Amino acid sequence: MSDARDDLPQLYLITPPELVIATFPDLLAACLDSTPVACVRLALSTKDQDLISRSADALREITHARDVALVIENHALLVERLGLDGVHLTDGSRSVRKMRKDLGEDAIVGTFCGNSRHDGMTAGELGADYISFGPVGSTGLGLGQQAEQELFIWWSEMIEVPCVAEGALDDVLIRSLAPHTDFFGLGDELWQDVDPVAKLKALYAAFG
């Protein structure tokens, strides 16, 4: 990454909820080779431990070969077993203290806090390495609540814990939030496109 981009947000990729182990690792590798990425989140909807483990093994080989962190969504017991870098929680601040104790100081512990400043601050105080807010864009999923730009402006001015902006992002939202967030979490924005690598490059160009 050039010096001109040193102060810009970093990329944080989120896997699709369902993936094909035979093909997705190659697609992920192509994305990582095309654009600088800091972290990948394995966020599968399945509860099949064997499938999760095989997926993690395949992605770990890709990410670690490129010095990219790999965290898993919620399944904290698999972090050490699968040689992952940490966990991404989805329950705000509720599990942060326990996960930090269980996984140790070296593991990444991040958590999704919706659009709650209070939950985000509490999670940071309890030892979270980053706080994720979203969805940023408009989506028909969830309860209809959005993480507005004002939240990210306030967070960047008041809180030192890094934050991730994620959910229904486009180039316009990315340009407006780039001065106020540390990471952009991209998932469906990429994988639902006909050319995820080209889409990633285009969204990254909107960082600044």
Q: What is the mean pLDDT of residues 144-163?
A: 95
pLDDT at 185: 98
How high is the pLDDT of residue 44? 98
Phi-psi region of 150 (alpha: psi -120 to 50; beta: other; left: phi over 0): alpha
The CATH number of the domain holding residue 201 is: 3.20.20.70
What is the pLDDT at residue 41?
98
Rounded Cα gap, residues 90 and 122, in angstroms:
14
> What pLDDT was estimated at residue 141?
63
Confidence of residue 142 (pLDDT cuts 50, 70, 90): low
Please say if the pLDDT value at position 140 is more than 90. no
* Residue 184, beta-bridge partner list: 11, 165
Confidence of residue 139 (pLDDT cuts 50, 70, 90): confident
pLDDT value for 4: 41
166 contact partners, CB below 8 Å, separation of at least 6: 12, 14, 132, 133, 134, 135, 136, 184, 185, 186, 187
Predicted pLDDT of residue 2: 33
- CB distance 120 to 131 below 8 Å: yes
Look at residue 145 in the predicted model and tell me its pLDDT: 86
pLDDT at 3 over 50: no
The per-residue pLDDT for range 159-180, each reduced to its tens digit, is: 999 999 999 999 999 999 999 9
Q: Which residues form the domain of 43? A: 3-205
pLDDT(1) > 60: no
Q: What is the pLDDT of residues 23-82, one digit of tens each?
A: 999 999 999 999 999 999 999 999 999 999 999 999 999 999 999 999 999 999 999 999
> In the prediction, which pLDDT does 39 show?
98
For all residues of the chain together, what is the average pLDDT? 95
Least-confidence region, from 37-51, 117-131, 133-147: 133-147
Both structure tokens of 49: 């431990």
C-alpha 203/C-alpha 170 separation (Å) is: 7
Domains: count for the chain: 1
Q: Is 0.75 topped by the overall pTM? A: yes
